[in-house]
Structure 1
Amino acid sequence: MNSNERNFLAYIDEMDIITILLALSYHHGLSSTFSITDESNKVKSIQIIKQQQIEKYNKYICRLSEEISFGHPYWIFDEHGGKTDLQIGAVIRTEVFDERFFYDGNDLGVSCKDNQTQFKIWAPTATQVKIKLRNPNSSFSEIIKMKRKEKGVWSSVVNSDLELYQYTFLVLVNQEWQESVDPYAVAVTANGERGVIVKLEKIHREKPVLPPFENPVDAIIYETHIRDFTIHPNSGAEHKGLYLGAGELNTTGKDGEPTGLSYVKDLGITHIEFLPFNDFAGVDELDPAIEYNWGYNPLHFNVPEGSYSTNPSDPYARILELKQLIDSIHSQGIRVMMDVVYNHVFVRETSSFEKVVPGYYFRHNELGFPSNGTGVGNDIASERKMVKKFIIDSIRFWLKEYHIDGFRFDLMGILDVETMREVRKTCDSIQKGTLIIGEGWNLNTPLPIEKKAIIRNQSKFPDIFQFNDKFRDTIKGNTFNLYDKGYVLGNEHYHEGAMDVITGSIGLIKKDSRLFNEPTQSVNYVECHDNHTLWDKLVYCLPDLDHLYHIKYHRLATGLVLLSQGIPFLHSGQEFFRTKRGDGNSYKSPNHINQLDWDRKDLYLENVNYIKGLIQIRKELPCFRFKSAEEIRSNTHILPLPKPIIGFSLQNKSHEFHEVLLLINPLRSKQTIQIPEGNWTLIANGQKAGIYLIQNLSNNELVLEPVCLTILAKK
């Protein structure tokens, strides 16, 4: 850029408004006239409607007599003969631009069939687009020009079968060429450097019939990470840390007992939710053992991650192996949930979005800088039509091509309500019962609060379910304050809050404490991949306490996750007291921190069996998964017990156990209480749980063991 260009800048900020900046060092920043010309060299004058000084520039707001035609270069002249190119400015973030260039076709990306390969890319602000095509068997590359079509789509058809050819797009915007991977790519080379043309119809699989899934509260979600799941030396898996390893059946630990997928099946889980497995940055796919990453660094949204594949250099391998994993999980009657990260990209400047349509896909603040509600330097502008379309297209792709059964939306509060409604509608049109959960945190992104997909707006998208941080912090204590003790640790201040969250956060105790309208909206959890594990928090909180009490507290907290109204969510290994050795943010920590320690499962098998028993109770007794707020209100009675003990009588009208008592003692001492008269069957206490007789009780006085829950049932 020469000195004249630096002193003279012009941007189109609305369809008929141009902003011109003249440096004060250049003719004192003064020009009484400006004109515009295009490739035809026909010169038109521009009307100056406002002028003001901003720092080292004079800023001129100018109006065009007619709108420019996007896709062609323009130049601006001043009265001194100075010349600069007209750059794309804030116009792309206007509603008019969005309406003008919205493309509703379903053919973006590449399709290859009948000895013909079609390329399409949406790049409305580009003045030229080319395809850079590479033969997979040589270093030879070919450049193919694309033609601009309607709505800013560029297209090209090559009359040959280009399967396995590698490709990128060369895009010219603002007089600058950028080389980009196709945002709609479905296959890539190792480390995602280039797109690859594949024929997915060759490897399409039919989805098997899964067990009925009638209501969201029937789900029991188990969150894990593909590498963590089997990387432990004693996982029993052959393909440790890979898609194939996570799908292996009949693996056993050193005690000969089940590990991996067979273990999860035996535990009683209905949904496995994997941390992101779309292509992400942070791990070298050609040498994955060196680095670790959770996967919240999205590169290519419609491509499986290569570091989990046996051969990341083979574009088909990762696709086939992920499909094999999903098939294997489905064969066990378990559904697969995918953690999706549509709220940001790894690096904005180098993302395909920014290279193809600079400035469009991301939110900007009032100063024009990229907003940062995500904390990683960029926020996806989901409210824009083609951004929303991309998200919907991507969800549709994963549902249809990979038979995904549910989605967890990372930092869902960055996204807008309307987009999430469209996600729900799309899922319902393809597969009823698709489970959609998300983090509805209110983050600092420039979107009006009434449009944010946050807990506060849950009534606007009631069929998408939210992580209940109130449940988490009430039961165990504040997740960001290691030393805060929650209800299960005996903190009486959380007593009323605990009653509220256990009954679905619907305001049963006090209407003004209502978080959700329906229990289905509440995803109940006390630990997940983020922050410290519950075990590590307990060890920090209560360092001088015997491990026996750490076990009791942990067992009680996990038990309440499984027995509260709403959707229970377990972090993998939580049932055998998962530890990350005190690491509270292990997103790139090594395997020995993040791995699922299968030896620990053997060590704490008694607790695993206890949790398995509670899962069995939840599945068997409808009173632990009421489907509506009305059902909870009609069938839940609070027992008059001294603080901080909690007791509920739950009506089970359709079950032989027509009344069930849930009793909770968070104190470290035995507590004697009065219970309703009748012949009660004890089905859970501090040591055992399951749908079987532990003990018959006919006395209306009961001694509650320290730090435990008790379940009594009456026929």
Structure 2
Amino acid sequence: MKRLFLLLTLVSLSLFTSKTDIFAAKKTDKVLSVTTADLIEMNLVQLKCSGLTNDFAKEKFAISPDITITKMVRKGPYLDISTKEQFKEGVIYTLTYGKTKKTIGLNTTFLVEQRFNDMYSDKKMGYTFENGNSTFRVFIPRGIKVNIVVFNKYDDENGQVIEMKNDGNQVFEYSQPGEMWGKYYGYQIIERSYSPGNFIPNMPQDTIFADPYGKINASNNVFPAKYRTLIYDDSKFDWQNTKTLGIDINDTIMLESHVRDLTAHPSAKSKFPGTFKGLIDAEVGGINYIKKLGVNAVEFLPLHDFANTEPPYKIAQNGIRNVWNVYSRNYWGYMTNSFFSPETYYGSDGSMDSKKWNGTDGKTVEELKTAIREFHKNGIAVMLDVVYNHISQYDVNSLKLIDYDYYFKKVEKTGCGNEVETRRKMVRRMVLDSLKYWMNEYKIDGFRFDLAASHDVKTVQTIYDELRLINPKVYIVAEPWGGEGASTKADFKKIGWSLWSDEIRNSIRGGNNRPTGPGTSFMLGTANNASGLINHWKGTTLGNPYQSVGYIESHDDATIGDIVRILSGAYSIQNADGSINRIKNLEDYLKLNPELINASKVGATALFLTQGPIMMHLGQEWARGKVTPDLTKYGIEELDNKGKLGSSSDNVVAFTPTPNSYSADNETNYINFDHIKLNQDLFNYYQGLIKLRKSESLLGNAKPEQVTILDNANKNSLGVIIGDKIIGLVNSDKTNKATYTIPTGKYKVVADKNKAGTDTIREVNGGEIIVEEASSIILIKL
């Protein structure tokens, strides 16, 4: 009985204690904690809180010094505090609250942002020679003391140091009588109104940097690369009455190409390989090859001065240890240093020899202008691939030294570092000044904007409006993704830009940009997705036909040739035992089997039947492969994926196709023109399609209502009638024919399984037309 009583007593005490604890917990007051306090307007502070209740007034919030709170509004876990006085830049503000007077500092970055966004000057920047005076101007948003340093020679360690004057709008100026042609200069910030963080790469805060508006920079092949701006008169070039061509964008067939790809290989037969001069003098490569192919526009990978040299591989230097780029190079050029200077490595005396200076005499300017002039003489428009969304990471970059917070976004989303903030008025102005300079001084016909979605909508609109005032037919093409996503495809479409169409690329080639094994593709007849071509053939994918730039290969990722070799199983990236399958005979690898020749022709025809402009990548016309050579001759270490090839951009494995060749200044990228004969039949076919498209305005210029789609039960086949004149029929199915009924009348066949062009292959009558397996037919009504 005692034990029972004791047990009941314990249970009772336990229950009582539990109830007491529950009651006490319910009565415990929430403890307020302010985690962030941000100024979001001139008179508005926003607090992020935990433990915030509707009874927040009792917390006795106060802001010092000298700020009067006029109103507080709760929004969930946030508390908005309005104030009578406006906050001032440079003052340290503190919020106190609660019975214990907890404190937290106010984040007043908004004040700097507001000032940044309002800053503007319309003065000419850089070096100008006007009215007998040499004047230098540079915009330094938070500079206090800025010097210009003038050098007699590009490699002088010391120069004449002159303090510049602030005009009151943070434009620092210096002027002196007379011209200064042939001198070199840079700027140096001695004192700032803030303390910048560490630069990447590490460098002193007073490092001398090139003029961001410099028209030609001499660059030194060291890491980090350094630059001096040459004072050079670029106004005396003889254009020989040439001008931009004004080819309608719908009629353009753009060839994306790198200067060195076109000219560096010995088979190009140039006395100046890898240069602007080589574009003109090459007997086989360069402009002669482009003329032979027949395209009417060339789109050069970046020609703006860029950082060629990247950090040494696996060696820690200037705060960076490179474990990704075995070449320690940038080849493509998507690491811009200057938006105004051309790349001096492409000058006739350009070199990547260690510690050598390039661009010391300015003749690169003349050589590039000469190349453009000759392209125009031969009816070939010149476009530039421009990179305004980010700048170089591994050199002495002017914009980073001037003011990182001003020129770049707080959160970087390009994957390249240093995402440019075009919302700032002076940044937007610099981009526009650069574009206009290249149009006016170099007579550029158009631009392709790298990762264009990084740019804000106002900048996108301003580019469209102001460039068309100079040339109403200027080509303005977006790579409509990447970066912050400040602009969307819908924005570009509404404003009037043209866009790279990854939709048509994926419909024809397949969506795998870097395949590692067999897969499906319309070209190969394995995707059952011919209907995916309909909107592209009608020209309705992105609004007006001119707004969709059709392509199936670009510089990015694997080539179309390598993709079909891998997707079809003609090449496997690994052997049966899992080891890397290294290509033993390059020519055997490059030569397509009949099945892949047919598939490549079908893919080309499907592309050339799209409305709007067409873009090809150099070498697509013969299914080039980008195969990494023997690396031992370069002293380069392989980088693979744990003994496998993989699909990483940085993988460099000898005798294998590379998934991305951005760093390879060698035969991985250079066109070996002797290899074209391996797939001569495919080259001839592309050549014929180009000639045909240029001769028929309806191929590219037809309106949607002029296009009728011919469907078929075979899901790998599709047909189209354009303007009641041209009929295109494609069938990628390797085992089944496709049958179509076409309108009555007489037609000439200008393209079939074997050949394409403007010549009549044979004549046929309307009615039933059978398209053979893995083939195409284009007919023109007589």
Residues 34-433 of structure 1: matches in 2 within 5 Å? Answer: 46-47=66-67, 89-94=109-114, 97-99=116-118, 101-105=119-123, 107-113=124-130, 115-136=132-153, 140-171=158-189, 172-173=191-192, 174=194, 177-179=205-207, 180-191=209-220, 192-203=226-237, 205=239, 208-209=242-243, 212-213=246-247, 215-248=248-281, 251-252=283-284, 259-283=285-309, 291=329, 293-311=331-349, 312-347=358-393, 351-364=397-410, 371-433=411-473
Describe the SS at the equivalent of 2:513: coil
- Any gaps of 5 or more consecutive residues in structure 1? 1-10, 20-31, 35-44, 51-60, 79-85, 253-258, 365-370, 507-514, 653-658
Contact 1:651 1:660 in 2 (8 A): yes
Match for 2:509 among 476, 497, 505?
A: 476
Give the Å deviation of 1:415.
Answer: 0.9
Give the Å deviation of 1:476.
Answer: 0.8
Shift of the 97–670 alpha-carbon distance from structure 1 to 2, 3 Å rule, reads closer
Contact 1:120 1:156 in 2 (8 A): yes
Counterpart for residue 494 of structure 1: 529
Give the number of aligned pairs.
621
Cα distance in 2 between the residues matched to 1:327 and 1:413: 32
Cα distance in 2 between the residues matched to 1:314 and 1:409: 29
Cα distance in 2 between the residues matched to 1:175 and 1:260: 49
Contact 2:451 2:483 in 1 (8 A): no
Counterpart for residue 723 of structure 2: 651
Cα distance in 1 between the residues matched to 2:43 and 2:137: 28
Give the Å deviation of 1:160.
Answer: 3.7
Counterpart for residue 57 of structure 1: none
Compare CA radii of gyration and give the structure with the larger one. Answer: 2
Q: Which moved more, 1:670-679 or 1:546-555?
A: 670-679
- AA at the equivalent of 2:466: T
Shift of the 169–206 alpha-carbon distance from structure 1 to 2, 3 Å rule, reads farther
Match for 2:700 among 608, 625, 630?
A: 625
Q: Which moved more, 1:133-142 or 1:383-392?
A: 133-142
Residues 628-639 of structure 1: matches in 2 within 5 Å? Answer: 631-639=703-711
Describe the SS at the equivalent of 1:604: helix
Contact 1:178 1:356 in 2 (8 A): no
Contact 2:711 2:719 in 1 (8 A): yes
Cα distance in 1 between the residues matched to 2:395 and 2:227: 15
- AA at the equivalent of 2:734: R
Describe the SS at the equivalent of 1:608: helix
Shift of the 240–133 alpha-carbon distance from structure 1 to 2, 3 Å rule, reads same
Contact 1:382 1:415 in 2 (8 A): yes
2:642 is the alignment partner of 1:614: no
Give the Å deviation of 1:223.
Answer: 0.5
2:768 is the alignment partner of 1:684: no
Residues 426-441 of structure 1: matches in 2 within 5 Å? Answer: 426-441=466-481
Give the Å deviation of 1:399.
Answer: 0.7
Please give the TM-score of this superposition, normalised by the length of structure 2.
0.73
Contact 1:18 1:64 in 2 (8 A): no
Contact 1:112 1:163 in 2 (8 A): no
Shift of the 476–635 alpha-carbon distance from structure 1 to 2, 3 Å rule, reads closer
Match for 2:547 among 518, 521, 538?
A: 521
- Any gaps of 5 or more consecutive residues in structure 2? 1-37, 47-61, 71-80, 95-105, 197-204, 221-225, 311-326, 350-357, 572-591, 628-656
Describe the SS at the equivalent of 1:587: coil
Give the Å deviation of 1:17.
Answer: 9.6
Cα distance in 2 between the residues matched to 1:15 and 1:196: 44
Describe the SS at the equivalent of 2:555: coil
Describe the SS at the equivalent of 1:200: coil
Give the Å deviation of 1:500.
Answer: 2.5
Shift of the 529–486 alpha-carbon distance from structure 1 to 2, 3 Å rule, reads same
Describe the SS at the equivalent of 1:603: helix
Describe the SS at the equivalent of 1:706: coil
Give the Å deviation of 1:679.
Answer: 2.2
- AA at the equivalent of 1:245: G
Cα distance in 2 between the residues matched to 1:87 and 1:126: 22
Shift of the 206–185 alpha-carbon distance from structure 1 to 2, 3 Å rule, reads farther
Shift of the 16–121 alpha-carbon distance from structure 1 to 2, 3 Å rule, reads farther
Give the Å deviation of 1:203.
Answer: 3.7
Describe the SS at the equivalent of 2:778: strand
Cα deviation code 1:298-338 (max 9, x no counterpart): 11111111111123242412111111211221121111100
Counterpart for residue 665 of structure 1: 731
Counterpart for residue 675 of structure 2: 600
Cα distance in 2 between the residues matched to 1:156 and 1:87: 36
Cα distance in 1 between the residues matched to 2:606 and 2:249: 18
Contact 1:198 1:316 in 2 (8 A): yes
Shift of the 225–207 alpha-carbon distance from structure 1 to 2, 3 Å rule, reads farther
Identity %: 26
Cα distance in 2 between the residues matched to 1:75 and 1:503: 61
Give the Å deviation of 1:621.
Answer: 1.8
Cα distance in 2 between the residues matched to 1:593 and 1:615: 26
- AA at the equivalent of 2:271: E
Shift of the 62–623 alpha-carbon distance from structure 1 to 2, 3 Å rule, reads closer
Give the Å deviation of 1:683.
Answer: 1.1
Cα distance in 1 between the residues matched to 2:450 and 2:241: 26
Cα distance in 1 between the residues matched to 2:441 and 2:165: 29
Describe the SS at the equivalent of 2:668: helix
Cα distance in 1 between the residues matched to 2:230 and 2:41: 37
Shift of the 418–468 alpha-carbon distance from structure 1 to 2, 3 Å rule, reads same
Cα distance in 2 between the residues matched to 1:76 and 1:142: 39
- AA at the equivalent of 1:587: Y
Describe the SS at the equivalent of 2:682: helix
Describe the SS at the equivalent of 1:344: coil
Q: Which moved more, 1:346-355 or 1:266-275?
A: 346-355
Shift of the 444–395 alpha-carbon distance from structure 1 to 2, 3 Å rule, reads closer
- AA at the equivalent of 2:127: V
Cα distance in 2 between the residues matched to 1:458 and 1:578: 32
Give the Å deviation of 1:616.
Answer: 1.6
Shift of the 617–587 alpha-carbon distance from structure 1 to 2, 3 Å rule, reads same
Q: Which moved more, 1:122-131 or 1:334-343?
A: 122-131
Contact 1:188 1:315 in 2 (8 A): no
Please give the TM-score of this superposition, normalised by the length of structure 1.
0.80
Cα distance in 1 between the residues matched to 2:752 and 2:607: 16
Cα distance in 1 between the residues matched to 2:536 and 2:309: 39
Describe the SS at the equivalent of 2:565: helix
Describe the SS at the equivalent of 2:453: helix
Cα distance in 2 between the residues matched to 1:346 and 1:18: 36
Contact 2:244 2:443 in 1 (8 A): no
Cα distance in 2 between the residues matched to 1:594 and 1:468: 24
Contact 1:536 1:580 in 2 (8 A): yes
Describe the SS at the equivalent of 1:680: strand
Shift of the 502–305 alpha-carbon distance from structure 1 to 2, 3 Å rule, reads same
Counterpart for residue 585 of structure 1: 660
Give the Å deviation of 1:633.
Answer: 2.1
- AA at the equivalent of 2:372: I
Q: Give the aligned CA root-mean-square deviation in angstroms.
A: 3.3
